Structure 1
Amino acid sequence: MQHPMKTCRFLTAVLAFSLGAAGRAPAQETGSAPALNLELNALDTSDKGCRLTFVAANQLNAQLDKVTFEMVLFNTEERVERLALLDFKTLPAGKTKVRRFDLANIACDSISRILINDATECAGEGVAEGTCIKQLKTSSKSSVRFGI
C-alpha cells in the first residue's frame, strides 16, 4: 500500500502538469495567420455629414506605408449610395491606429452597410500584391454591417 503523502504529491504533480499543458494550449492557438484587422468602430453625425471611425490593427509583421480601401456605402434600401476611397496612411507592424473620415452630405442613419470593394493601395517593404485585401479581417461595433 502506498503512503498517503506520496499519493498526494503524485496527484499534485499530475494536476500541475495538466494545468501547465492547458495554459500553453491557448497560446499555441493564438498563433493564427497574420492579418490586417479593420473594425468599424462608430458612425457619428458631424458638421459635414457622417464621421466614420475605424480601428486598424496591423498584425501582418510588415509596415504598411500606404493603405487605401475603396468602400461602398449602401443606403437603407440596400442601394449603392456612394463609393469612397479612404486612405489609412501608414500602419506600422504590430500597431493599432484609429482613423476617422468625414463623409460630406450623407446622414449616418441612412447607411445600412459598408462593403470593402478593394484595397486600391497596399504598399510596404516585403508586402506582396493583394495582401491588404486577402488578409483583411473585418468587424463592426455599430449596427452597420461591415465586410468584404
Structure 2
Amino acid sequence: MRKIAAHCLMAVTALAGAAAPVSGLAEDKATGLSLELNNLARSEAGCLATFMVRNGFEQPLEKVAFEIVLFNAQGLVDRLMVLDFSPLSTGKTRVRQFDLAGADCADISRVLINDAAACDAKALPATACLDNLKTTARPEVEFGS
C-alpha cells in the first residue's frame, strides 16, 4: 500500500513539475507588447511588410505607433517612417501590413525600432510600449530596438 502511495506521489509531483513551465509561458505571453516582422514580399509599389502585433497589457491601447528605420544591404539608412498599429484590444493579436513604396525587399538588411511615436492607454506610462516590447522576425532580417 505504501509503495502504491509513493508511486502516486511521484506521479503527481512529476505532473505538477511538467505543468509549471506551461503556466510560466502563458504568463510571459500575457505581458507587454509583442511585435513580429512576419514577412517581406514584393508588391507593385515596392515591398509589403507584414507584422503581427499582440497586446498583452491589461488594458487596450488606443494609440500605438513605432518609428521604424530601414537599413539597406550595405548597412546604410534607407528610410525612417512611423508605422501605426492602433488600436489594440487587450489580449488580441492583429496583422498589420504596410506597403513600403520604392523599397526593394531583397535589399532590406535590418529593421530598427527607433522609438515609440505613440503609446496611449489609460493606466500606462508613455514609455510602456517601448519598455515592454518583445520583437521577433521570420525573414532573415535583423529586427528590434
TM normalised by structure 1 equals: 0.90
Letter in 1 for 2:12: F
CA distance in 2, matches of 1:24, 1:140: 28
CA distance in 1, matches of 2:23, 2:40: 36
CA distance in 2, matches of 1:62, 1:27: 24
Runs of 4+ in 1 over 3 A off after TM superposition: none
Number of equivalent positions: 143
Is 1:81 the counterpart of 2:70 in the alignment? no
Is 1:94 the counterpart of 2:86 in the alignment? no
Tell me what 2:7 maps to.
Answer: 12
Cα deviation, residue 13, structure 1: 1.7
SS in 1 for 2:143: strand
Letter in 2 for 1:19: A
Cα deviation, residue 129, structure 1: 1.5
Report the structure, 1 or 2, having the larger strand content: 1
- 1:25-60: per-residue Cα shift (whole Å, max 9, x none)? 214523337210000000000011000000001111
**Which region of structure 1 is more displaced relative to structure 2, 7-16 or 70-79?**
7-16
Q: From 24, 27, 34, give the equivalent of 1:29.
A: 24
CA distance in 2, matches of 1:127, 1:47: 39
Percent identity (aligned): 41
SS in 2 for 1:85: strand
Cα deviation, residue 7, structure 1: 4.0
Letter in 1 for 2:79: R
CA distance in 2, matches of 1:113, 1:52: 13
Q: From 110, 134, 138, give the equivalent of 1:137.
A: 134
Give the unaligned 5+ runs of structure 2.
none
Letter in 2 for 1:119: A
Q: From 55, 58, 73, give the equivalent of 1:58.
A: 55
Cα deviation, residue 18, structure 1: 1.3
